[in-house]
């Protein structure tokens, strides 16, 4: 066999190998599925449109060359995006969004700020799962800058509690500073009074354990004086208090004429008194049965309902 023929066979072999490689590379590693993870504020479709708009995004190997930082630089709530290959045909887009801990009204819009107290974005409507903050007293808010003109103690309280709330599943509807400049959380009809900043970690731990027991209720949860040694947590059930008051008013407004003081009436009154005592005992037992118990490790806290005075 001549050298010329061997050379031609070698060239043809190399060409075939290259074609096979190209076929495997572009067909075998073709992107057939994209998984987007970690996104809350942006939809999967928005993330894909921002990051995977280049031709190389159709290949799971070439997609690793995409500069995601440049692609998402205009996305105000995205901190970082990384691409990973899963198998031969699946591309995973891992999104890390900036954590917003609250928003407040500012010049007709909503100013949303992060755990460092930096305003990240102004929106026309509230962002889901970001609580509303009342009583901050912010004088000036600029995007990309830290909140200005706010009391340092207030800001530290909000930032501290906000970071703790990131770990909880249930987020409050709003956070309010009361007249004593103490933080109050609202979960629907539940008002949670935190008091001062002391033992805030313990207060938030108790709160996360007790909240599920208060579902469907209305009232005030007192965490002002909670410490590691506290065993009882008081809950003022305002809903039950209103119902009891309504029942008492209905009982007092019967419109019946007074009965004559006869022996029969005296016997009836005695029976009614006995019945009343029995009802009171029954209500007392029911009240004790309705007490909620919360156990958190070694500590046990009772969530007790009491009538507001």
What is the reported pLDDT for 163? 87
The kind and range of the H/E element at 110 are: strand 109-114
Task: Answer whether residue 80 shows pLDDT above 60.
Answer: yes
Neighbours of 246 (CB within 10 A): 10
Per residue in 23-75, pLDDT tens? 777 788 999 999 999 998 899 999 999 999 989 999 999 999 999 999 999 89
Instruction: Identify the DSSP state of 26.
Output: I
Task: Answer whether residue 11 shows pLDDT above 80.
Answer: yes
Sign of CA dihedral 181, 187, 193, 195: negative
d(CA 272, CA 209): 44
Hey, is 59 helix, strand or coil?
A: strand
| Farthest CA pair distance, the chain | 139
Structure tokens at 305: 């309902």
Q: What is the pTM of this model?
A: 0.64
Per residue in 262-300, pLDDT tens? 445 545 554 554 444 344 444 444 433 334 443 333 333
d(CA 183, CA 224): 10
Closest to 237 measured CA to CA, from 266, 214, 265 = 214
Domains of the chain in sequence order: 29-97 (3.10.20.310), 188-249+283-309 (no CATH)
Token look-up 């969530």 returns: 303
Per residue in 162-213, pLDDT tens? 888 888 878 899 999 888 888 999 999 999 999 988 888 899 988 988 888 8
Higher pLDDT: 10 or 186? It is 186
For 241, 255, 271, 272, 279, the CA distances from 266, given in Å and listed in that order, are: 33, 20, 9, 10, 20
Q: Which of 81-85, 113-117, 262-266 has the lowest mean pLDDT?
A: 262-266
């Amino acid at each position: 066999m001549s050298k010329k023929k061997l050379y031609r066979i070698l060239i043809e072999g190399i060409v075939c190998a290259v074609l096979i490689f190209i076929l495997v590379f572009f067909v075998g590693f073709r992107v057939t599925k994209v998984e987007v993870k970690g996104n809350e504020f942006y939809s999967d479709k928005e993330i894909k449109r921002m990051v995977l708009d280049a031709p190389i995004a159709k290949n799971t190997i070439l997609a690793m060359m995409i500069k995601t930082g440049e692609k998402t630089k205009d996305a105000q709530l995205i901190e970082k995006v990384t691409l990973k290959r899963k198998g031969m045909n699946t591309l995973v887009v891992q999104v890390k969004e900036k954590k917003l801990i609250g928003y407040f009204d500012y010049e007709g819009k909503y100013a949303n700020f992060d755990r460092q107290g930096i305003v990240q974005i102004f929106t026309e409507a509230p962002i889901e799962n970001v609580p509303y903050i009342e009583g901050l007293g912010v004088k000036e808010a600029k995007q990309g800058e830290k909140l200005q003109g706010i009391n340092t103690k207030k800001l530290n309280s909000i930032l501290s509690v906000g970071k703790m709330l990131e770990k909880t599943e249930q987020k409050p509807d709003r956070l309010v500073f009361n007249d004593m400049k103490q933080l109050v959380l609202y979960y629907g009809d539940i008002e949670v009074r935190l008091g001062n900043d002391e033992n805030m970690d313990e207060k938030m731990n108790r709160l996360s354990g007790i909240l599920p027991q208060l579902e469907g209720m209305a009232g005030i949860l007192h965490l002002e004086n909670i410490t590691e040694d506290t065993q009882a947590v008081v809950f003022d059930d305002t809903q039950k208090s209103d119902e009891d008051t309504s029942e008492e008013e209905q009982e007092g407004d019967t419109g019946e004429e007074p009965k004559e003081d006869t022996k029969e009436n005296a016997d009836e009154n005695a029976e009614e008194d006995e019945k009343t005592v029995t009802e009171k005992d029954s209500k007392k037992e029911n009240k004790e049965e309705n007490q909620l118990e919360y156990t958190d490790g070694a500590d046990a806290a009772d969530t007790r309902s009491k009538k507001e005075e």
